[in-house]
Amino acid sequence: MVSPRAAVSALPAYRPGRNPADLAREIGVPRAVKLASNEVAFPPLPAVVQAISQVAGETNRYPDNGAGVLTGALATRYGVAPEQVATGCGAVTLLQQITQAYVEPGAGLAYAWRSFEMYPLLAQVAGARAVQVPLVPGAGGGPADTHDLDGLLAALDDDTRVVLVCNPNNPTGTAVRRAQLEAFLDAVPPSTLVVLDEAYREFVTDPDVPDGTELMRGRPHVAVLRTFSKAWGLAGLRVGYLLAEDPAVAEAVRKTHVPFSVSMVAQAAAVAALASEDEVRARVDEVTAERARLTAALRDRGQPVADSQANFVWLPLGERTAEVAAALESRAVITRPFAGEGLRVTVGTPEEDDAFLAAFDEVAAVAAARG
């Protein structure tokens, strides 16, 4: 019998957000609300739809393997050379490429925990040593939800090749501030690559949360990871990119690129999205305004919701998490539970969020009646 590697056999399956149409059919309702995958609720930008239609007739040909037009547009947007840019099939694929490029079996891959759930899987597949540093309570106290940069720095050793800093952090939505992050970056040894995973950067409203593309300047061991899946609305097309101060970092990541993995349609859509930045910013403003309303509504209900800098909020429900998530699903609302820890709720439309709040109130009332 042919068997996969032991590390692969031991991998848990990735759990995507549940399909709302499937849930609606299962429980017999016309529609279910999905607030599980941090997608934006807006339809694709008009320019994106137009770009897709223009290239649809060319998809019998391979895409540009180097994504030259997209790379050039990103370089112009961020004021870097094209050699400092690497594109990939979503940010998560770029994370895999980074791991392949820099982390040998047995070497260290460091990150906070809880954070993006792919981090430990990347370490496991690479045969790397996962260095997990627990989150700590934020400035206001309460449940652990914030990066412990001092603890992360203390956990590094000579064999730590890559450090991943998810800022804002997924799934807690919290973010580290400029002074702490600058001090951390300057203290990390130059032989260790720091990747600032900024999938949710566009939703940041706190001026003290730094833009990683500014902090990487003059720091050759720092790279920034971004995606078109969230604010830019291209989750279904899978486009991510890495910006590196040292072009050699981007070159190493490009070497582990799977050929033609960023499709022709995805490249055209991403270029069109970049050209529509004003529209994207207007949409982001709507999301952050709705985030503030949802946060206030949950706090009014006694929930200790931290200030989120992403397009989701975090409910630290602890041992009640799985039970609450299941009860919400039975009321046609899909969220993202992290068993024993908390519930991540994507900021949806006002109507979707009102449906979530109504379902949450029903669940709370049933729990109160049970005593």
pTM: 0.96
Give the whole-angstrom CA distance, residue 231 versus residue 202. Answer: 6
Q: Say which CATH topology domain 46-275 has.
A: Aspartate Aminotransferase; domain 2 (3.40.640)
pLDDT of residue 323: 97
Largest Cα–Cα separation, the chain: 63
- pLDDT-derived band at 61 (thresholds 50, 70, 90) equals very high
Give the whole-angstrom CA distance, residue 178 versus residue 175. Answer: 10
Distance in Å from the first CA to the final CA of the chain: 54
- pLDDT-derived band at 304 (thresholds 50, 70, 90) equals very high
Kindly report, residue by residue over 262-292, the tens digit of the pLDDT.
999 999 999 999 999 999 999 999 999 999 9
Mean pLDDT of 212-226: 98
Kindly report, residue by residue over 245-267, the tens digit of the pLDDT.
999 999 999 999 999 999 999 99
What CATH architecture applies to the domain 6-44+278-370? Alpha-Beta Complex (3.90)
Kindly report, residue by residue over 199-213, the tens digit of the pLDDT.
999 999 999 999 999
Structure tokens at 54: 């223009």
Domain ranges of the chain: 6-44+278-370, 46-275
Does the pLDDT at position 234 exceed 90? yes
Kindly report, residue by residue over 87-141, the tens digit of the pLDDT.
999 999 999 999 999 999 999 999 999 999 999 999 999 999 999 999 999 867 7
Q: Which element (helix H / strand E) includes 77?
A: helix 68-78
